[in-house]
Amino acid sequence: MGFPTVRPRRLRSSQRLRDMVAETDLGPERLIAPIFVQEDAREPVPVDAMPGVHRWPLGAVHEEAKRILEEGVDKFLVFGIPARKDEVGSEAYNPQGVVQRAVRELRRELGDRATIMTDVCMCQYTTHGHCGIVARGPGSWYVDNDATLPYMGKIAVSHAEAGADVVAPSSMMDGVVGQIRRSLDEAGFTNVLIMAYSVKYASSFYGPFREAAESAPAFGDRRTYQMDPRNAAEALKEAELDVEEGADILMVKPALPYLDVIRIVKDAFPHYPLAAYSVSGEYSMLRAAGERGWLDEDRALLEVLYSIRRAGADAIITYYAPRAARLLREGRNAFRGPRSHRGGQAPPPGGSQQPREGGREAEPVPRGGGQGRQARHPGGRAGGLGHGLRAPHPGARG
Ligand code: PBG
């Protein structure tokens, strides 16, 4: 059976029908907001390449967190920029270090209203800017995997002691998840979760972050530990090892250039929650185009977040988290359409994700030919996939 009996456009003919059959949902509960804390900052320091993102001083970081919380995002991923760096990144596990103090501040000010996650790595803390212990021979150097592991365990425990709920190892050292699980358990933190940066690529999209976190390597690059962008199947090996080592949540990073990887990891590990990190470069790219008026940033950022959800991510780490949450909360979700809130009625608080009932159907239905622009196939879905009505959870698919 085909055209003219089958007309896919019928299901797109009103906002209400589009909302009814939408395959993917997106709410603020899916979003995690990164926060930068700078030990020697006196006031918020703007990050040049990431307009709208700041490095917050201790003592003020909870104010930023509260602002984000008010937008509806209650998960934070904390990154520290220490005042002192050394060869072994000892500020990373100092109980009085910048992240540890920031976490205590957030815990004190927010109580249990927020889930606090921390990045477990050394690159912001080492003079050489690498994610582990650097061993040097004559004319050569390498990041010493096994020498790094105990440090990772120490860093994670120090974060847990400060009150972190979730630790997120991002160093891409082999065995880091198992090491951290053992260290946490031995220290009594059996309930602290590990969100593993399982599949982390050596990506140019981290550029703006390295400015924000002052973590660019002083020599060499990260290609001996982060993954090669040409590889996808290898992601399954990384994810599998992290599962075996005790990861609670897997992660793919970056997100947008690796949607295929998100999909295969979700398909291979449907029983594990999957996070995707939409990294600094993804943010900067959209912000730059938005500032120039080259694209509709609000619409584009939601489209990107939907694409990451559609690919299979359960949670998304994004610098757009507060802005996206506001759009969703105010019913300014371009895909649900502002015109679905009629008669000047505000959407119910937090209710913009629920299908609205009642109300007139005021959506003009294009008729006849010559309307191709409004009704053009969105392009993201090829025909003939045989999808019927599916559960909204992308991970539940095929
Ligand atoms: C630390 C770390 C990085 C990011 C998160 N954790 C940088 C890197 O690996 O160079 C990047 C985040 C972003 O770009 O938003 N290892």
DSSP for 14-34?
A: SHHHHHHH-S----GGGEEEE
In a domain, 205, yes or no: yes
Index of the ligand 1 atom closest to the CA of residue 209:
14
Out of 209, 210, 224, 285, mutate this one to test ligand 1's pocket (max ligand atoms within 8 Å of CB): namely 209
Residues touching ligand 1 (Cβ under 6 Å) are: 119, 121, 123, 131, 170, 206, 209-210, 215, 222, 279-280
In a domain, 70, yes or no: yes
In a domain, 352, yes or no: no
Tens-place pLDDT, residues 34-93: 999 999 999 999 999 999 999 999 999 999 999 999 999 999 999 999 999 999 999 999
Helical (H) or strand (E) element with 364: none
Q: Whose CA is nearest to atom 8 of ligand 1?
A: 206
Is residue 53 a contact partner of residue 97, using CB atoms and an 8 Å limit? no
Measured in degrees and rounded to the nearest 5, phi and psi for residue 372 equal: -55, -30
Give alpha helix (H) positions in 274-348: 280-291, 297-311, 321-329
Judge whether 66 counts as a catalytic residue: no
Is residue 91 a contact partner of residue 97, using CB atoms and an 8 Å limit? yes
For residue 206, the CA-to-ligand 1 centroid distance in Å is 6
Q: How far is it, in rounded angstroms, from Cα 213 to Cα 208?
A: 9
Length of the chain equals: 398
Q: What is the pLDDT of residue 337?
A: 61
For residue 248, the CA-to-ligand 1 centroid distance in Å is 20
Measured in degrees and rounded to the nearest 5, phi and psi for residue 80 equal: -110, 145
Q: Which of 75, 154, 200, 266 is catalytic?
A: 200
> Within 10 Å of residue 267's Cβ, how many Cβ atoms?
13
Q: Report how far Cα 141 is from the mean position of its chain's Cα atoms.
A: 32
Out of 55, 79, 121, mutate this one to test ligand 1's pocket (max ligand atoms within 8 Å of CB): namely 121
Residue 257 — pLDDT band, cuts 50, 70, 90? Answer: very high
Beta bridge pairs of residue 142 = 135
In a domain, 53, yes or no: yes
Percent of the chain with pLDDT over 90: 79
- DSSP-derived pairing of the beta strands 140-143 and 134-137: antiparallel
Single pTM value for the model: 0.85
Give alpha helix (H) positions in 72-206: 98-110, 145-162, 176-186
Judge whether 154 counts as a catalytic residue: no
User: Which CATH number do you get for residue 236?
Assistant: 3.20.20.70
Beta bridge pairs of residue 226 = none
Q: Domain tally for the chain?
A: 1
In a domain, 121, yes or no: yes
Q: How far is it, in rounded angstroms, from Cα 294 to Cα 173?
A: 40
Q: How far is it, in rounded angstroms, from Cα 75 to Cα 34?
A: 9
Tokens of 275: 């996070």
Q: What is the pLDDT of residue 211?
A: 86
Tens-place pLDDT, residues 215-241: 899 888 999 999 999 999 999 999 999
In a domain, 88, yes or no: yes
Index of the ligand 1 atom closest to the CA of residue 34:
15
Asked whether the predicted pLDDT for residue 334 surpasses 90, the reply is no
Q: What is the pLDDT of residue 347?
A: 46
Q: Report DSSP state, residue 201.
A: B
Helices 297-311 and 321-329, packing angle to 10 deg: 100
In a domain, 238, yes or no: yes
Q: Whose CA is nearest to atom 6 of ligand 1?
A: 170
Index of the ligand 1 atom closest to the CA of residue 279:
15
Stretch 111-130: mean pLDDT: 96
In a domain, 382, yes or no: no
Q: How far is it, in rounded angstroms, from Cα 390 to Cα 397?
A: 7
Measured in degrees and rounded to the nearest 5, phi and psi for residue 18 equal: -60, -40
User: Which domain, by its residues, includes 45?
Assistant: 14-339
Is residue 197 a contact partner of residue 255, using CB atoms and an 8 Å limit? no
Q: What is the pLDDT of residue 393?
A: 46
Tokens of 144: 């010493």
Q: What is the pLDDT of residue 342?
A: 45
Is residue 368 a contact partner of residue 352, using CB atoms and an 8 Å limit? no
